[in-house]
Chain A
Amino acid sequence: MTTNAQVESPGRPRPTEDRLATTGSRCTRVLGVVVLLMLAMHLALALVISPPEVIQGEAVRLFYLHVPLAVAGGYLGVGLLAVGSIGYLWKRTIFWDLLAASAGELALVFTALTLLTGSLWGRPVWGTYWEWDPRLTLTALLFVLLIGYRAMRTASTDPHLRARRSAVIGLLAAADVPLIRMSVDWWRGLHQTATLNPLNPSLDGMMLFTFFFSMVTFAVLFVWLLVHRFRVAWLEEQVADRALDEAIAQRRAEGQETQ
């Protein structure tokens, strides 16, 4: 937070302004290029180079999109949401709050895409868009939990109240996932449908490579998006702080004029 607004002349840029006015840096630009190259390679591997699967046929290619989205959103996203939430409750700094917020929002997007690609895959392979499979049910509930987290973030304009309550919700949502997992596993335990097992040794070598390459690609993509989302949130905080500082400085100036 900047508190010296009234002693600075308005025309002089602050030392940190140039660094904070953009969400990119040399490092993120390099990372961005790497992500784009990896995505291009991922597309080539998933759509052209890897062979169709014996049972699923061409539909297996959706898996190279669906599974990495689920892993990046479900594990990385929710994991970082929990880390940010715990960090905030412990340290009480805006950094952890914004980390949790950014991770939660990206996890929501990735989970929505996971559900969408899963449905598209289910139609040709299972013959239905939706199946009450434990994993699907878990993902659907996770999606709603993340919507709830997002709703909390827009429910209050008081930054401290919002950060505190969001952190509790983020932590509870992450803690709830294993419980939901256990319950839906038992609930649908008898109907468990076979899914692709990446460690299955009979899997074609090229398919296995594509599978793991897609995981790495989407993890890097997630990190890249996270850095930018975090910086946008950070800049928003700065703008809000500065607007408040300027408003206070103006009121003070008015007070001096009338004296």
Chain B
Amino acid sequence: MWRDAMLVAGKDLRIEARSKIALNQIAPFALVVLLLFAFALDPDRGFLQEATPGLFWIAVLLSTLLVVQRSYAVESADGGRDALRMTGLDPAGVFLGKSAAVFVVLAMLEVGLGVGVRLMYDTSLRGWPVLVVATVAATTGLVAAGTVYGALAAGLRVRETLLPLLFLPVVAPVMIGGTRAFAAALDGSSGEAWRWCGLLITFAVAYVALGMLLFEPLLEDS
């Protein structure tokens, strides 16, 4: 299963390294979102610094949708999905591999967004350890849920509109947990931030487990 996961992750990351869609299109999109938040909230009154945790995670959430859609779009052409199914790879391994590839891309985007809010919103990033743990846990939950829901919407005529409707309400706990953990860490109260990390880790573990279990019926069809 781990070997299969490595194979699938390697394949997806190689495609990304050659096509550079995340770098050339999704990262600039995330930057535009940061700019739009500045237009929506007055940059002179400190709203942006106060709202940084929420804005950061909304930008991440919107980018996740694009990365997940891209992850399945690469397989929709030329019967790639059927080919993947016929390779006989372990479904749990395929799930872990696709999740891992999305994780790597998303983690790089998050670093970029972190630099973005530091520079553009002038937010001082405090409490590094808890910020990193919260980000890793939240990202794991997001990519696990995203990979499952991406597979659910893949191949349907309405996939672009169905995916956000299915995915966004489900990751509400990540949005709440990530935002609260960041807010607490930036305020200097890391004790509360760790408590939120607990919620994020619970979510991540639950979705990784569910994804490994449920990916098999999802790989069966088109």
Residues of A that sit less than 8 Å from B by CB: 89, 141, 144-145, 147-148, 151-152, 155-156, 158, 160-161, 164-165, 167-169, 171-173, 175-176, 179-180, 182-184, 186-187
Contact A179 B169 (CB under 8 A): no
Measured between alpha carbons, how far is A171 from B209 in the docked complex, in Å?
Answer: 13
Stretch at the interface among B15-23, B47-55, B79-87, B171-179: B171-179
Other-chain residue from A144, A152, A182, A184 in contact with B152 (beta carbon distance below 8 A): A152
Contact A180 B173 (CB under 8 A): yes
Contact A160 B166 (CB under 8 A): no
Which residues on the A side are within 8 Å of B196 (C-beta)? 186
Which residues on the B side are within 8 Å of A175 (C-beta)? 206, 210
Contact A155 B162 (CB under 8 A): yes
Contact A89 B217 (CB under 8 A): yes
Report the 10 A-B pairs with minimum CB-CB distance, sorted nearest first: A183-B173, A144-B169, A148-B166, A183-B176, A161-B221, A179-B173, A187-B176, A164-B217, A148-B165, A155-B156
Q: Quick one: which of A172, A182, A184 has the most chain B CB within 10 A?
A: A172
Instruction: Determine whether B133 belongs to the interface, using a CB cutoff of 8 Å to chain A.
Output: no
Measured between alpha carbons, how far is A81 from B210 in the docked complex, in Å?
Answer: 17
Which residues on the A side are within 8 Å of B98 (C-beta)? none
Which residues on the B side are within 8 Å of A165 (C-beta)? 152, 218, 221
With A152-B166, A155-B156, A164-B221 already in contact, 17 other A-B pairs whose C-beta atoms are closer than 8 Å: A144-B165, A148-B165, A151-B158, A155-B157, A155-B162, A156-B156, A158-B222, A164-B218, A167-B217, A168-B214, A169-B166, A173-B170, A179-B202, A183-B172, A183-B199, A184-B172, A184-B176
Measured between alpha carbons, how far is A182 from B210 in the docked complex, in Å?
Answer: 18
Contact B220 A164 (CB under 8 A): yes
Report the nearest A residue to B168, measured CB to CB: A144
How many of chain B's residues touch chain A, expressed as a range?
Answer: 20 to 34
- Shortest C-beta distance, B221 to chain A (Å), equals 5
Measured between alpha carbons, how far is A145 from B220 in the docked complex, in Å?
Answer: 24
Measured between alpha carbons, how far is A144 from B192 in the docked complex, in Å?
Answer: 29
Other-chain residue from B162, B166, B203, B221 in contact with A179 (beta carbon distance below 8 A): B203
Measured between alpha carbons, how far is A145 from B167 in the docked complex, in Å?
Answer: 9
Q: Can you list 26 residue pairs at the A/B interface with Cβ under 8 Å?
A: A89-B217, A141-B169, A144-B165, A148-B162, A148-B166, A148-B169, A151-B166, A152-B162, A155-B158, A156-B156, A164-B217, A164-B218, A167-B217, A168-B148, A168-B217, A171-B210, A172-B148, A175-B206, A176-B173, A179-B202, A179-B206, A180-B172, A182-B173, A183-B173, A184-B172, A187-B180
Main secondary structure of the interface of A (DSSP, over half): helix
Residues of B that sit less than 8 Å from A by CB: 148, 152, 156-158, 162, 165-166, 169-170, 172-173, 176-177, 180, 195-196, 199, 202-203, 206, 210, 214, 217-218, 220-222
Main secondary structure of the interface of B (DSSP, over half): helix
Measured between alpha carbons, how far is A156 from B156 in the docked complex, in Å?
Answer: 7
Which residues on the A side are within 8 Å of B166 (C-beta)? 148, 151-152, 169
Measured between alpha carbons, how far is A175 from B217 in the docked complex, in Å?
Answer: 17
- Shortest C-beta distance, A133 to chain B (Å), equals 14
If the complex has contacts A168-B214, A182-B173, A187-B176, are A161 and B222 also in contact, measured as CB distance less than 8 A?
Answer: yes
Which residues on the A side are within 8 Å of B177 (C-beta)? 183
- Shortest C-beta distance, A156 to chain B (Å), equals 6
Contact B221 A168 (CB under 8 A): no
Report the nearest B residue to A187, measured CB to CB: B176
Which residues on the A side are within 8 Å of B210 (C-beta)? 171-172, 175
Contact B172 A160 (CB under 8 A): no
Which residues on the B side are within 8 Å of A172 (C-beta)? 148, 170, 210, 214
If the complex has contacts A151-B166, A179-B206, are A168 and B218 also in contact, measured as CB distance less than 8 A?
Answer: yes
Which residues on the B side are within 8 Å of A184 (C-beta)? 172, 176
If the complex has contacts A165-B218, A187-B180, are A145 and B169 also in contact, measured as CB distance less than 8 A?
Answer: yes
- Shortest C-beta distance, B70 to chain A (Å), equals 20
Which residues on the A side are within 8 Å of B199 (C-beta)? 182-183, 186
